Amino acid sequence: MPVGTRATVKTLSPKEIEEVGSEIILGNTYHLYLRPGHELIQKAGGIHQFMGWKKPVLTDSGGFQVMSLKGLRKITPEGVRFQSHIDGSYHFFSPEKVMEIQNALGADIIMSFDECPPYPATKKYVSESLKLTLDWAKRGKIAHQNSKQALFGIVQGGVFEDLRQESAERLMEMDFPGYSIGGLAVGESKENMLKITKFLNKILPKNKPRYLMGVGTPLDLLNNIENGIDMFDCVMPTRNARKGTIFTSKGKMIIKSARYKEDIAPIDEDCKCYACRNFSRAYIRHLFSVDEILGMRLATIHSLHFYLKLIKAARKAIIESNFKKFKNKVALEIGSEKIV
Amino acid sequence: MPVGTRATVKTLSPKEIEEVGSEIILGNTYHLYLRPGHELIQKAGGIHQFMGWKKPVLTDSGGFQVMSLKGLRKITPEGVRFQSHIDGSYHFFSPEKVMEIQNALGADIIMSFDECPPYPATKKYVSESLKLTLDWAKRGKIAHQNSKQALFGIVQGGVFEDLRQESAERLMEMDFPGYSIGGLAVGESKENMLKITKFLNKILPKNKPRYLMGVGTPLDLLNNIENGIDMFDCVMPTRNARKGTIFTSKGKMIIKSARYKEDIAPIDEDCKCYACRNFSRAYIRHLFSVDEILGMRLATIHSLHFYLKLIKAARKAIIESNFKKFKNKVALEIGSEKIV
């Protein structure tokens, strides 16, 4: 899922989001609540109508964002009191309030309000946080009154397998239509991240989607798909693209590099995206070097197209019982941090 | 002609430039010479190929830009020595050099190197400047060796009718395929600008295009079309759009204004552009208020579409011998500085 924090996938039009192959995008409840406000979006006919995007949308719970407001927020069993990062104004998110906001935004898939513990955190902290998140999940499920929106529970528990198991099992008792895995990609090692998704693969129901929040590099996606993950969101392809780092089938390309100054090849020879069909590395490098917005647009288009093509290829490989081979081939070609 | 200073019409893709109805765009010789350099663009196959734009391109002579580098440039009969505004490096533009650059860029229509006198300037200054510009036009014509590029002469002479007449007649003796009118919209009154275009209308040949450089508001265009002008370029629609001032059929719209916060109508009810077909004022205002690039894109798309539709309507009105009535109707609807 490309990330459309403020009802726009940065630099792209909805037409382009569709053209790169997106089937669903993510919006951020915290940001949309503050600006332009969920009532306004509801009045405009919901998030799809407001932003001109006809396909599915998922909204997060805002939990991750308000927890990140260190010093500006206070957690109580009732919910979280926080100050806006924009103007310092005071607000309160409870599981019920977050459902009210997400019901108003009208996304197709919505999230339970959760506490995402920091990393590192003691087992005691994570365990207590988990109880809160489970209680909030229950309250959110009761408050959620729109059968057209699928509410996912969020599995927490840090890097502790027993806590993850407890979290998953309690949520499964509540019977959500899908399960998110939160609290990863927050600073722990890749080994720990994969250990947890592999562990949860044995526990979570096979017939319901599993969504790993905030991950990651192309190889992170494949490694986690191998561990049973179905859905991802990450700002990496779009944010890196805007800064001139483009994901390609051969690794990461730093397009501002002098080596591309006179390079009239497309970003990626085998790619069929709008950027690769029409423009050279030299042109896109020029756009970046003179700070022209079209550069960020073309880099974003290519990187998202690359990510989504990778995911489609992974799906195909799974269907053809060929995933392991596929993953190893991609890993060889891309490398995890390889710069082309 | 939308302005594509650095081989991109700011915020838009070539596909969008075409979709808004552009038949030709302008590129700036001074800027392209400095970055990425005309040799690179030539190596990439010329400006069309480099930027992925298949339709005609016009390049200016760079004269206006180097003359604007007050304190960083010295004019001699040979040409202009100047320092780059980017890094202070020294460069020299002569009529021959400017032809070499424009030949390399490969635009369909190119301009003679000219001195654009400041406003106000004494008649003596303008008269001497004019002699230089005429000499440079002659030298440029000799140096221009590409029959696929139409070289226009530039009429100068400030707000002095006799000097304008001299300029036009000397250039007509050299027999250019088209004539540009420079040195207007540089600070003189609208009355003075219109006085000069009206005056030149009687002098310039009827069977060749006349291009008024750097003009202007929608009404400026119509008033000058009435005075026989065929071509315009101006950053106004694109630059204003990026700052949130959008041209509409009812006047200028300051989209950031609080009055549009909950306004779910499109920018312009009667408009068929991508922005008006898909998005509300409330959404575009939201994008501007959170500094999202899509806001600038949509505002630019609408404003260019509006300008180009206006020009097409003007052409139709001329063909139907209905121009005066058409102009008066538009003037009533838009006003010259009316804010909707």
- Positions of A annotated as catalytic residues are 60, 233
Interface contact flag, A8 B280, Cβ < 8 Å: no
When pLDDT is cut at 50, 70 and 90, the band that residue A339 belongs to is confident
**Percentage of the residues of chain B whose pLDDT score is greater than 90:** 96
Q: Which residue of A has its CA nearest to B86?
A: A290
| Cα B260 to Cα A311: distance, rounded to the nearest angstrom | 40
When pLDDT is cut at 50, 70 and 90, the band that residue B104 belongs to is very high
Residue B291 annotated as catalytic: no
In tens, the pLDDT along B109-146 reads 999 999 999 999 999 999 999 999 999 999 999 999 88
Q: Compute CA A225 distance to the chain's CA centroid, rounded to the nearest angstrom.
A: 14
pLDDT at A260: 98
Q: What are phi and psi of B300, to 5 degrees?
A: -65, -45
B224 token code pair:
């000058």
Mean pLDDT of chain A: 97
- How far is the alpha carbon of A112 from chain B, nearest alpha carbon, in Å? 26
In tens, the pLDDT along B319-332 reads 999 999 999 999 99
**Residue A28 three-state SS:** coil
Residues in B closer than 8 angstroms to A52, CB to CB, are: 278-279, 283
pLDDT at B103: 98
pLDDT at A226: 98
Residues in A closer than 8 angstroms to B289, CB to CB, are: 35-36
pLDDT at A136: 98
Instruction: Select the residue of B40, B262, B290 nearest A40 (Cβ to Cβ).
Output: B262
Q: Are A251 and A330 in contact (CB under 8 A)?
A: no
Q: Compute CA B322 distance to the chain's CA centroid, rounded to the nearest angstrom.
A: 26
Q: Which residue of B has its CA nearest to A296?
A: B11
| Cα A214 to Cα B227: distance, rounded to the nearest angstrom | 61
| Cα A288 to Cα A274: distance, rounded to the nearest angstrom | 17
Mean pLDDT of chain B: 97
Interface contact flag, A292 B6, Cβ < 8 Å: yes
Q: Which of A52, A54, A152, A159 is nearest to A98 (CA)?
A: A152
pLDDT at B145: 83
In tens, the pLDDT along B176-196 reads 999 999 999 999 999 999 999
- How far is the alpha carbon of A25 from chain B, nearest alpha carbon, in Å? 16
In tens, the pLDDT along A88-120 reads 999 999 999 999 999 999 999 999 999 999 999
Interface contact flag, A13 B289, Cβ < 8 Å: no
pLDDT at B20: 98
pLDDT at A335: 77
Q: Which residue of B has its CA nearest to A276?
A: B52
Q: Compute CA A77 distance to the chain's CA centroid, rounded to the nearest angstrom.
A: 27
16-35 in chain B: CB under 8 A from chain A:
35
Q: Are B222 and B279 in contact (CB under 8 A)?
A: no
When pLDDT is cut at 50, 70 and 90, the band that residue A8 belongs to is very high
Strand-pair category, B73-75 with B80-83: antiparallel
H helices of chain A, where? 14-19, 29-34, 38-43, 47-51, 63-68, 95-105, 123-143, 161-174, 190-201, 218-226, 236-242, 274-278, 281-289, 293-319, 323-334
| Cα B270 to Cα B305: distance, rounded to the nearest angstrom | 12
Side-chain-side CA neighbours of B313 within 13 Å: the count stands at 16
Q: Which residue of A has its CA nearest to B43?
A: A262
- How far is the alpha carbon of A231 from chain B, nearest alpha carbon, in Å? 26
- How far is the alpha carbon of B49 from chain A, nearest alpha carbon, in Å? 8
> Which distant-in-sequence residues (6+ apart) come within 8 Å of B241 by Cβ?
B247, B296, B299, B300, B302, B303, B304
CA dihedral B59, B65, B66, B68 (to 10 degrees): 160
Interface contact flag, B8 A40, Cβ < 8 Å: no
Q: Are A272 and A21 in contact (CB under 8 A)?
A: no
Interface contact flag, A286 B12, Cβ < 8 Å: no
Cβ–Cβ contact A266 with B under 8 A: no
| Cα B112 to Cα B129: distance, rounded to the nearest angstrom | 14
| pLDDT over 90 at B84, yes or no | yes
Interface contact flag, A50 B282, Cβ < 8 Å: yes
In tens, the pLDDT along B268-321 reads 999 999 999 999 999 999 999 999 999 999 999 999 999 999 999 999 999 999
Residues in B closer than 8 angstroms to A51, CB to CB, are: 279, 283
In tens, the pLDDT along B213-237 reads 999 999 999 999 999 999 999 999 9
> What DSSP string runs through B148-216?
TSEEEEEE--TT-HHHHHHHHHHHHHH--SSEEE-S-SSSS-HHHHHHHHHHHHTTS-TTS-EEETT--
Instruction: Select the residue of A6, A52, A292 nearest B290 (Cβ to Cβ).
Output: A6
284-313 in chain B: CB under 8 A from chain A:
286-287, 289-290, 292-294, 296-298
When pLDDT is cut at 50, 70 and 90, the band that residue A133 belongs to is very high
pLDDT at B336: 66
Burial of B154 (0-12, 13-18, 19+ CB in 10 A): buried
pLDDT at A336: 66
Q: Are A90 and A34 in contact (CB under 8 A)?
A: no
